[in-house]
Structure 1
Amino acid sequence: MGLDPNLVGQAEGPWERSWSADDALLYAVAVGAGQDQPLSELSLTTENSADVEQRALPTLGIVLAQFGGPQTIHLGDVDLTTLVHAEQELVLHRPLPVAGRMSLRRQITDVFDKGKGALVVVRTEGVTEDGEPLLTTRSSVFLRGAGGFGGPRGESTPWEPPAGDPDAVLRFRTAPNQALLYRLTGDRNPLHSDPRFAALGGFERPILHGLCTYGITCRLLVGELCGGDPTRVHAMFGRFSRPVWPGDELVVSAWRRSDGSALFQTSRAGSDVVLDRGRFDYQP
């Protein structure tokens, strides 16, 4: 059968999602908070440090919205080993609380024919118990070999990093067990833990979750641009362009803009860009 031709408009929800302060702590540690300097990010990693108020990293919102509820988006008769995460966007309508509950709805908004594959775009919206918007995520997945069905191709916007040296260059070496730790936040895709499944996808060994790289990037940018205060983050976007392996060193290059945003790229040290076309919106 191949890709289901009637995907656009397919919806799920609402469903309820709650989280605790412990979930926020686990997520922060899973994206490397405190790994290099255990006392440097106590607001993310502890709930009982003197004169330190616990905060939640905004990218925890993606885990809450996209995992822990209905897990299967029915794409049709497709080989899931050909599926890769393509793009991720997070918009926060208010700061993400350390603990709480929200109601979520999910909808497939677009399916694009990219020739060599298909791009499926999913939007998830979360509202508070009072019915107020909390967050919106937009996630796209690329299915290799599923293109050529005659659908719209979608826009392709050229993008280049700003001219000149970045305003900040931030580094973090992932741990060899980073993927094993990150999967405890909810993403149990065996691509990141099972050597046999990774081999079916064409990888020599399990790769790091793209959303872990995304979360690490957010954490580093919060420290550099927001003075360590994650409540100042409004939105973040990035396109996944290359795989990362646990143990790789990540390098985030950021260019500040006058409108309260920054453009960024995340690379493997001395190698390819792995998170491209990045934009980070925050309160300066």
Structure 2
Amino acid sequence: MTNALRRLATKDATWFWRVPGPRCEDIEMLNYGKTRDWKSGDVRHSYTTKDSILYALALGVGADPLDGRQLRFIYEKELAVVPTMAAVLASPGFWMRDRAELGIDHLKIVHAEQGVRLHAALPPQGTLIGRSRVVRVVDKGAGRGAILYIEKQLYDEATQQLIATAEQAMFCRGDGGFSLAGGGDEAPTGLPPTPDRPPEAVVDLATRPDAAALYRLCGDLNPLHIDPAVAAKAGFPKPILHGLATYGMACRGLLELYCDYDPLRLRSIRGRLSAPVYPGETLRVECWREGGEVAFRVRALERNVVVLSHGRAEV
């Protein structure tokens, strides 16, 4: 192929798929129809006060044992639950790996965004039913990946009350271009950017060196977060903290700055996971009042890297 044709192929993906070679239907790619129609069915999750306490401890809540506001999350007497625990309860597991017919390259999936909206207080123990479904599949183009938007609703098994809605966006780096075979949804309105002015409120939160070893016990046993050899193969100098742990730390910061550690005052929290965190780093939560919301971001101080951006919370 000449240089001119290479440039044309790069600019015009439709032309590229018309060159002689494998037919589009012969090339493994994300199956839009099957992926868009995916539903988890009912996922039943029974948990105890120990699980709720472990989740809080993994986020560093209770680091000051004399702070009664934090004590309520780690002491079974009148136990409260960190709201972002809704993101990990009654989840369907790594279904994109287990469903080969979807055609998703599960080795190139990155957790991009996460949100939780509370409709009622999370009970400190009980049984919840999670119902997850794909609500949008966006093609960013050949070589640019695709984004899956997934919604999970949590119901109390005993009362059938809707407790929380969790939304996540998964960046499928290896699955761009699927819409050439048909299908694809419009991208949603993007998260608003972080304000371009000094933050109005700041809190620094230390992460424990063993934070990932603790947090994995909340449900995500990916060896990337504990095995140095696996982390090295993925290009990291050491195991990284779970993205949802960074998200939970942001929630902890908002509870301290705006809610006096009262979880009932936090109605929703969402944000974009923008860079990995290494256990032991200090996370600075930077916040701004924006109308009826709090805009926030999280920075790893030792490297001066923003690890969570485009954050918004209703408090």
Q: TM-score, normalised by structure 2?
A: 0.81
Within the candidate set 131, 151, 159, 2:192 is matched to 159
The percentage of aligned residue pairs carrying the same residue is 37
Aligned to 2:30: 3
Q: For 1:103-122, list aligned pairs within 5 A.
A: 103-115=129-141, 116-122=144-150
Listed one character per residue, the Cα deviations across residues 63-111 of structure 1 (whole Å, up to 9, x for unaligned) are 1132xx5542336444433211100010111111211222221111111
3-state SS, counterpart of residue 36 of structure 2:
coil
Partners of 1:15 and 1:81 in 2: how far apart?
A: 24
Give yes or no for the alignment of 1:137 onto 2:169: no
Aligned residue runs from structure 1 range 1-284, under 5 A: 1-5=28-32, 6-35=34-63, 37-40=64-67, 41-48=70-77, 53-66=78-91, 69-73=92-96, 74=99, 76-115=102-141, 116-128=144-156, 129-150=158-179, 151-152=184-185, 154-155=187-188, 157=190, 159-259=192-292, 261-269=293-301, 270-282=303-315
Which amino acid counterpart does residue 106 of structure 1 have in structure 2? S
Q: Is the 8 A contact 2:192 2:310 kept in 1?
A: yes
104 and 160 in structure 1: CA distance in 2 versus 1, 3 angstrom threshold = closer
How far apart are the structure 2 equivalents of 1:32 and 1:278? 20
Secondary structure of the corresponding residue to residue 163 of structure 2: strand
| Farther off after superposition, 212-221 or 154-163 | 154-163
For the residue of structure 1 that corresponds to 2:60, the secondary structure is coil
Q: Which has the higher helix share?
A: 2
Moved over 6 A (4+): none
Identify if the C-alpha distance between structure 1 residues 216 and 94 changes in structure 2 by more than 3 Å, giving closer, same or farther: same
Q: CA deviation at 1:198?
A: 2.4
Q: CA RMSD in A?
A: 1.9
Gaps of 5+ in 2: 1-27
> How far off is 1:203 after superposition?
2.2
- Normalized per residue, the structure richer in strand is 1
| Separation (CA, whole Å) in 2 of partners of 1:78 and 1:11 | 16
Instruction: State the alpha-carbon separation in 2 of the partners of residues 77 and 27 from structure 1.
Output: 33
User: 1:256 and 1:243 mapped to 2: Cα distance?
Assistant: 26
Deviation at 1:149, TM superposition (A): 2.0
Unaligned runs of 5+ in 1: none
Does the 8 Å CA contact 2:132/2:150 hold for their aligned counterparts?
Answer: yes
Task: Give the 3-state SS of the residue equivalent to 2:87 in structure 1.
Answer: helix
How far apart are 1:155 and its partner, in Å?
A: 4.1
8 Å Cα contact 1:81/1:201 also seen in 2: no
Q: 1:81–1:200: 8 Å Cα contact kept in structure 2?
A: no
Higher CA-based Rg: 2
Secondary structure of 2:52's counterpart equals helix
SS at match of 1:130: coil
For normalisation by structure 1, the TM-score amounts to 0.89
Letter in 1 for 2:44: E
